[in-house]
């Protein structure tokens, strides 16, 4: 998925999620590379399959932006 394929609000939320993951990884002293970020996002999506549609959508957008 490309930036132009989502609304401004969806893009902003996906970027916020990615930024939050990077900050958490950095605080933990872990690598902040693409592979680490993708692993965290995938795990979060799998663990939160009961979230409201918008929350899952934001996680999916973040994953798609990172690919």
Domain boundaries, the chain: 3-66
pLDDT (tens digit, 9 = 90+) per residue, 16-44? 999 999 999 999 999 999 999 999 999 99
pLDDT surpasses 60 at 63: yes
Compute the average pLDDT of residues 49-57: 73
State pTM to two decimals: 0.84
Distance CA 56, CA 58 (A): 5
Distance CA 11, CA 24 (A): 20
Helices in 1-67 by DSSP H: which ranges? 8-27, 34-47, 53-66
Residue of 30, 29, 28, 56 lying closest to 44 (CA atoms) = 56
């Amino acid at each position: 998925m490309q930036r132009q394929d989502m609304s401004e609000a969806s893009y902003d939320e996906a970027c916020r999620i990615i930024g939050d993951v990077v900050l958490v990884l950095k605080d933990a002293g872990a690598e902040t590379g693409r592979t680490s970020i993708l692993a965290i996002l995938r795990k979060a999506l799998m663990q939160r399959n009961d979230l409201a549609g918008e929350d899952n959508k934001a996680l999916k957008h973040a994953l798609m932006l990172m690919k």
